[in-house]
Structure 1
Amino acid sequence: MIEQTRGCFDDLVVGTTTRSPRRTVTEADVVGFAGMSGDFNALHTDEVAASATPFGTRIAHGLLGAAIASGLFTRTALSASLQESLIALLGVDCRFVNPLRIGDTVHVEAEITELRPTSDSSRGVVVVERRLVNHEGAVVQVITTPMLIHTTRPDQGDTPT
């Protein structure tokens, strides 16, 4: 199923998919993330040390990939459709499947995998699985994000017409 344009809980369908634009992971991304996070692990910052690892070179931080995937998801039609209904991000579950390399061009393929009503009928939980995919078609990360959203558009209310 392709992406849809309405984003309140009652309008969503499990299986809806979306795809983001691409971006390339750069040296500046890795260096900037190391500085911002304080994570100067040699696997990310020391080419000589990293060349002795199974990866053979430095790789990007896993959490950098998750941050890039988050940003790319916000550039999808599905994310845009959820903005008026979104209440809160409830969590982030990341699985690092393959290394994210400097120079990889990545995009996000996202799918609604679950819709859960809550005890408050004005809210529901939508679970979106975001797959960060590199230019070779390999899944690099799988990020699952449950989000609390309104069941109807906030501007619709319950006023009878």
Structure 2
Amino acid sequence: MSHEQPARSANPSARSLPEPHYWESLALGDCLVTTGLTITEAHLLTWAGLTGDVVSFHLDAEYAASTQFGHRVAHGPLTLSTSLGLVTQTGYFGNVVAWLGLDSVRAKKPVFIGDTIRVRATIREARETSNPAHGVWVIDYVTSNQHGDVVMTFTSSFLVRRA
């Protein structure tokens, strides 16, 4: 398997590739802040179809109206996966060798259709490994809605290629 980057075009108007980020690119305390994503009905329906999580609380507007929240609520794992994806879009994860796991997941508040979520991801730990080719990032994720309310927190770890 080749790990070579595609050649850059000699055409100055061509879109350039982002600089590769390695383990050394982030250190303890560094923070990545994402753009927002508005959760839509399509997200809930697609997640339910992909995962089989077809609970009325998420999909049945009439039933959800009778619950304590009064509206359909996004699936917790959908919020978690979307949070991971938003942080991945920052461009720092192109040299991830492996996802090592997830810890301390907490759903703090519901996410509703129409809510826009953003993530603040802070490097809790950036440690070397016994293999000099890799390092580990342990990252604390805080996902908030458009009002600044924290809706989810968790920690995720990655094995990352070193420069």
SS in 2 for 1:88: strand
* Contact 1:6–1:12 (Cα < 8 Å) also in 2: no
Q: How much does 1:70 deviate?
A: 1.8
Unmatched 5+ stretches in structure 1? 154-161
Residue in structure 1 matched with residue 97 of structure 2 by the alignment: 87
SS in 2 for 1:40: coil
Aligned with residue 117 of structure 1, among 105, 112, 128? 128
TM-score, normalised to structure 2, is: 0.80
Structure 1 segments of 4+ aligned residues over 4 angstroms from their partners = none
Instruction: Report the residue type matching 1:121 in the other structure.
Output: P
Instruction: Decide which moves more: 135-144 or 88-97.
Output: 88-97
Q: How much does 1:112 deviate?
A: 0.5
Instruction: Report the residue type matching 1:115 in the other structure.
Output: A
Q: How much does 1:130 deviate?
A: 1.8
SS in 2 for 1:90: strand
Residue in structure 2 matched with residue 37 of structure 1 by the alignment: 51
SS in 1 for 2:92: helix
Q: How much does 1:92 deviate?
A: 2.2
Aligned with residue 16 of structure 1, among 23, 30, 38? 30
Cα RMSD (Å) of the superposition?
1.8
Q: How much does 1:109 deviate?
A: 1.0
Instruction: Report the residue type matching 1:12 in the other structure.
Output: L
Residue in structure 1 matched with residue 140 of structure 2 by the alignment: 129
Residue in structure 2 matched with residue 98 of structure 1 by the alignment: 109
Instruction: Report the residue type matching 2:156 in the other structure.
Output: T
SS in 2 for 1:110: strand
Unmatched 5+ stretches in structure 2? 1-18
Deviations 1:49-80 (A, max 9, x none): 2222221221000011112112211221xxx2
Distance 1:67 1:100 in 2: 13
Q: How many residues align?
A: 144
Aligned with residue 27 of structure 1, among 29, 32, 41? 41
The 3 A distance-change label for structure 1 pair 33 and 81 is closer
Residue in structure 2 matched with residue 156 of structure 1 by the alignment: none
Identity %: 35
Distance 1:71 1:11 in 2: 19
Distance 1:29 1:38 in 2: 14
Tell whether 2:77 aligns with 1:63.
Answer: yes
TM-score, normalised to structure 1, is: 0.80
